[in-house]
Amino acid sequence: MEEFTYPEGITVLINLWSSKEESKKLQDSKILGEFLITLVNKLKMTPLRDTLILKEIPALGHEGMTSVTATIALLESHVCFHSWPEWNYMRLEISTCREADVDSYSDSINYIKEFFQCARLDIKYKMWRDKDIDM
């Protein structure tokens, strides 16, 4: 039987709950677009030209509130998120086909915490080769 191998890479899933004071950011596609570009730069990744897509969506059952979904294609893979401002919540996915740069991920996590003044942040790392890493 032929053996298959995976490339180096990591997917990071981040569940974050912003402070109530910062939850307005979760509805603002302009602010979130700038956040996403800054995050990609902090991760030392390369955005592909004209691939940032942001879409505002009415928050179901919460008149006057807007969720935002976004994605950006990268030379290394992609970053995407969806926000639920009615719960002060965002789910963020960072995926890259290169080895994890622990320092840039650590700096990026700190940026996320500060930007949203997170009340809670849960992070799951999945290595493409199923290797465990410490961050």
- Give pLDDT tens digits for 14-36: 999 999 889 999 999 999 999 99
Domain boundaries along the sequence of the chain: 16-127
Q: Which class would CATH give 16-127?
A: alpha beta
For residue range 42-77, what is the model confidence (pLDDT) as tens digits? 999 999 999 999 999 998 888 889 999 999 999 999
Q: What is the chain's alpha carbon radius of gyration, rounded to the nearest angstrom?
A: 16
Query: Do residues 78 and 107 touch, judged by C-beta distance below 8 A?
Result: no
